[in-house]
Amino acid sequence: MTKNQTLRAALDSGNLFTAMAAHNPLVARLAEQAGFGGIWGSGFELSASYAVPDANILSMGTHLEMMRAIAASVSIPLIADIDTGFGNAVNVSYVVPQYEAAGASAIVMEDKTFPKDTSLRADGRQELVRIEEFQGKVAAAVAARRDKDFVVIARVEALIAGLGQEEATRRALAYEEAGADAILIHSKQKTPEEILAFVQEWPGQVPLVLVPTAYPQLTEVDIAALGKVGVVIYGNHAIRAAVGAVRKVFAQIRADGGIGNVDATLPTVKEIIALQGDEHMRAIEARYLK
Ligand code: SPV
Ligand code: MG
């Protein structure tokens, strides 16, 4: 099976597919080793790793090249976060084949205006495009894919924008009608009630995608039991884990005036060399270096 077929089959199966955020190939490899079904090519994480806001400050090219590097380093599907599609439906027509060629198995595109503001920030600018305009962008994405198993996920930001469940459902149904394979419904409420109400009332046929960052109480068992959710995305746990771990180690080294104490607490250099794919390179060496 190709990676695209793996993701498509997972969506068709009705089982919950898990995708973990990654901002570089090393983290993607750790996600694969940990047993996640796929990688989330998070714009938030990549922006954070460049120390800039998640607000279309990074260029599409920067994100695209990281997606290419990630896809090349793992054997599980990559779901690429293309924000608002980097423009209008015309841009989307050119963007989608590039992500597909880079090795992504899906794109998620959100119905906000360009440039976007990040969704989970309190008081962010959350302006949505007209429903018809976004339908055009979804249809353009669907038409532009080369492989029918490449998945197009439309992301509804109506709850994030405070427009309520009725508007969110209206938009989700319109995007399904335009050809979306799945609907990502995002919420920044600190408890799951808002998202649960949407999921329970969802009258559409396509599976939903949740990003439970703001309401972490909801487990995979809870989500699977809802029966309408195909994918759960863990949106930023790699970058948050990295920031926490790096801060702690740096502080310890400054406090100790040396690396003696932290050394035993860290993964060994040997472990890092293994993650770099050393075994593969040594096999090439043994076979071809004459
Ligand atoms: C991302 O990880 O880039 C996302 C999810 O789009 S969120 O940051 O919650 O908007
Ligand atoms: Mg994003």
The domain segmentation of the chain, as residue ranges, is 3-236, 243-288
Q: How, if at all, do strands 151-156 and 182-185 pair?
A: parallel
| pLDDT tens digits along 110-165 | 999 999 999 999 888 999 999 999 999 999 999 999 999 999 999 999 999 999 99
Instruction: List the catalytic residues.
Output: 54
Q: Is 44 in the pocket of ligand 1 (CB under 6 A)?
A: yes
Q: Is 120 in the pocket of ligand 1 (CB under 6 A)?
A: yes
Measured from the Cα of 160, ligand 1's closest atom is: 10
Tell me what pLDDT residue 87 has: 97
Tell me what pLDDT residue 191 has: 97
| pLDDT tens digits along 7-54 | 999 999 999 999 999 999 999 999 999 999 999 999 999 999 999 999
Tell me what pLDDT residue 227 has: 97
What is the band of 70 on the pLDDT scale with cuts at 50, 70, 90? Answer: very high
Unique residue bearing structure tokens 């029966």: 227
Tell me what pLDDT residue 22 has: 98
Q: What is the CATH number of domain 3-236?
A: 3.20.20.60
Rounded Cα–Cα distance for residues 245 and 265 (Å): 11
Residue 120, CA distances (Å) to 14, 161, 194 in order: 28, 10, 15
The pTM of the full predicted model, rounded to 2 decimals, is 0.98
* Mean pLDDT of the residues in the chain: 98
Tell me what pLDDT residue 220 has: 98
Measured from the Cα of 46, ligand 1's closest atom is: 3
Task: Work out the percent of the chain whose per-residue pLDDT is above 70.
Answer: 100
